[in-house]
Chains A and B, each alone.
Chain A
């Protein structure tokens, strides 16, 4: 069956621009996670959704970052006024219920120039 799909796979943007990163989770998975991974580091938790609501957004670094999941399926991570330090791989994962194992997509590599 289809896994977690993330688009685009690569995004290059200029400093100060706005970007949206999309995640299509596995069908039927109610839990959805966003992580960010810098080179040589493990994934860093950003936000967790249970259904449509953001149940835990404690990992979002600042108010330039926002994520939505309006219908409880597809999620979009939005970054305003991008900075060079936002360059990283953004990973999405879904889980049947938040206790079952996470299934990750292959990420979106964001480069801010």
Chain B
């Protein structure tokens, strides 16, 4: 199965960078890594995805290691509104099924 491993929780000071790690050691060569976040009572919100190269958009940056076995989501200047559960997911090889773990609960502190 396409399993990802994330720390259960992290704290970050407001205005500082939040670096959220994810291990996906079983990822296959042509599968993307996707990041989502979920705020209470809402559905998961797409943030960013990548294959090999680092990616950046208006929400975050994604750093993928050269061996593709892990990645880090970076929120450059965390705000209180970034407090959420963050999930990294990959597709189960040979399918279009995406498996979510329990994610990282990020708390941004004032």
Contacts and interface: CB of A to CB of B under 8 A. Distances in A.
Interface of A: 4, 31, 33, 35, 40-45, 48, 50, 55-56, 58-59, 91, 93, 98-99, 101-107
B68 interface: no
A50 B97 CA distance: 12
Given A42-B103, A101-B34, A101-B49, A107 B43 contact: yes
B87 A42 contact: yes
Contact of A48 (B42, B49, B96, B101): B96
B65 interface: no
B21 interface: no
Contacts of A56: 95-97
Contacts of B85: 42
Contacts of B97: 45, 48, 56, 58-59
Interface residues of chain B: helix, strand, loop or mixed (majority): loop
B93 interface: no
Interface in B51-110: 85, 87, 91, 95-103
Of A35, A58, A59, A102, most B-chain CB atoms within 10 Å:
A102
Interface residues of B, number: 22
B46 A45 contact: no
B43 A101 contact: no
Contacts of A42: 85, 87, 100-103
Given A101-B46, A102-B44, A107-B43, 5 more contacts: A42-B103, A45-B99, A56-B97, A103-B46, A104-B44
Contacts of B103: 42
Contact of A99 (B32, B41, B43): B32
19 contacts: A31-B96, A33-B98, A41-B102, A42-B100, A42-B101, A42-B102, A43-B100, A45-B100, A55-B96, A58-B97, A98-B96, A99-B96, A101-B34, A102-B44, A102-B98, A104-B43, A104-B45, A106-B41, A107-B43
